[in-house]
Amino acid sequence: MKINFKGGNTMTRLNKAITRYILAILLISSAGYVKSKTEWGLSARQGERPTMEDRHTVKTLNKKLTFFGVYDGHAGTNAADYTKDHLAENFSKFNWWNLFQIREQAETIGKRLIDNFNKTDKDFLNNLKFKHDRSGTTAVVAVVDTNTNKVTIANCGDSRAILIRNGRVLLATNDHKPKLPKERKRIEEAGGFVHYDRVCGVLAVSRAIGDRDLKDKGVIPNPDIYKKDAKKGDILILACDGVWDVMNNEEVAAFIHEKFNKSNKEQMHSSTQNTGEETVEETGDNLVRRVARELRDKAYNKKSNDNISVLIVKFGEVDQERQRQKDTNASLMARLFKSKKVFLGLGAVAILYSLYHFFA
């Protein structure tokens, strides 16, 4: 599109300035939609527990961000159900500034995750429907930028995420256990205590969403934030402690690496038969889902006595040329409009001035 901005009266020039402003917005927005070929798969089973309290989320937030989450409920399913339904929703609520994609960097995503973990916890505890509920849930989530393969991870509790490359662990979240010095100190300063590695002898994690009775004893919903740039072929695993209780990070990384390498040579199969009334769930891309099932059943066969949920994300290749174009455009607009106030202020002045002359 070519527009001639020369000549014309004040009103014409102003209208053309507004047109420039709108085109700038469109430039920033359209520059961001360069997707990698990311695949994902989930497999979950009830295992030896009498009920299934694990939940999960896979939600496309917009044309660049996808939200993945695994939640391990305890003392009932209400907290896990509520978190599944609201954590990603709270994160994705529309913000006009996100449209411009200048500031939507990992730091901003991390802060939004922290804010929304706390909001979800507060809203759940203040919901009259759950005023007598004592359930809680851990949460491990990853927000993946499918334009750049940038990953921002948040974890609260002992569900865990690891990012692997060629069978090696690049990044692993740390579990929140009451016996850890930092966690124990906070619990004791809040008036709680740690007994048999449990908060007040009850809860085996020191951070969780929900757990109404222990909120004044140092159990907090604040997640830790991790950031990493993934590459083609990298694999992200989110899983509840039903996996990590019986396998360490390196075992899982080696197992997953082997299964993906084998997948192109022979058909994988699960060695476990599902019987009775056990809850089993699978979804996602075929190959990745099958690998998730293999890890799930590996943990089960190693005598895990908990619910087992495995969510795997396999990163594809980013279109580097289009990504460079996007970065150049975004950098240009960031220089033109150095702050949110300036950017929105200029637009507001232009629009108000135009309206004034229109109705005058």
The per-residue pLDDT for 270 is 44
Is residue 168 over pLDDT 50? yes
Q: Which residues contact 251 (CB under 8 A, 6 or more apart)?
A: none
Distance CA 304, CA 128 (A): 36
Determine contact, residues 203/210, Cβ cutoff 8 Å. Answer: no
Domain ranges of the chain: 10-32+323-359, 39-111+141-175+224-318
pLDDT tens digit sequence for 319-355: 655 555 555 555 555 555 555 556 566 666 666 666 6
Q: Please say whether the structural domain 39-111+141-175+224-318 has been given the CATH code 3.60.40.10.
A: yes
The per-residue pLDDT for 269 is 46
The per-residue pLDDT for 317 is 82
The per-residue pLDDT for 268 is 46
Is residue 222 over pLDDT 50? yes
The per-residue pLDDT for 101 is 46
Is residue 253 over pLDDT 70? yes
Phi and psi at residue 119, to the nearest 5°: -65, -45
* Tokens 């192109």 belong to residue: 264
Arithmetic mean of pLDDT, 256-264? 85
- What is the number of other CB atoms lying within 10 angstroms of the CB of residue 91? 23
Determine contact, residues 351/358, Cβ cutoff 8 Å. Answer: no
pLDDT tens digit sequence for 2-17: 444 444 566 566 666 6
Is residue 200 over pLDDT 80? yes
Q: What is the mean pLDDT of the chain?
A: 83
Tokens of 260: 């993906």
* Tokens 């960031």 belong to residue: 334
The per-residue pLDDT for 281 is 82
How much of the chain, in percent, has pLDDT values that exceed 90?
62
Q: How many CA atoms lie within 13 A of 354 on its CB side?
A: 14
Phi and psi at residue 45, to the nearest 5°: -145, 155
Closest alpha carbon to 214 in 154, 323, 125, 85: 125
pLDDT tens digit sequence for 277-325: 677 888 888 899 999 999 999 999 999 999 999 999 999 987 655 555 5
The per-residue pLDDT for 344 is 64
Tokens of 227: 């950031």
Distance CA 207, CA 157 (A): 5
Is residue 175 over pLDDT 90? yes
pLDDT tens digit sequence for 95-122: 544 544 444 455 689 999 999 999 999 9
Determine contact, residues 145/88, Cβ cutoff 8 Å. Answer: no
- What is the number of other CB atoms lying within 10 angstroms of the CB of residue 160? 23
Angle between helices 286-301 and 249-263 (to 10 degrees): 140
| Bridge partners for 140 per DSSP | 70, 155
Tokens of 10: 């004040």
Arithmetic mean of pLDDT, 130-138? 97
Distance CA 286, CA 247 (A): 24
Q: How confident is the model at residue 93 (pLDDT cuts 50, 70, 90)?
A: confident
**What are the start-end ranges of the H helices in the chain?**
10-30, 78-92, 96-100, 106-126, 181-189, 241-244, 249-263, 286-301, 320-336, 340-359
How much of the chain, in percent, has pLDDT values that exceed 70?
70
The DSSP letter of residue 190 is T
Determine contact, residues 186/179, Cβ cutoff 8 Å. Answer: no
Arithmetic mean of pLDDT, 246-273? 77
Among 194-203, 252-261, 267-276, where is mean pLDDT lowest?
Answer: 267-276
Per the model's pLDDT, the better-predicted residue between 92 and 46 turns out to be: 46
Arithmetic mean of pLDDT, 272-278? 54
* Tokens 């203040």 belong to residue: 126
Distance CA 309, CA 131 (A): 28
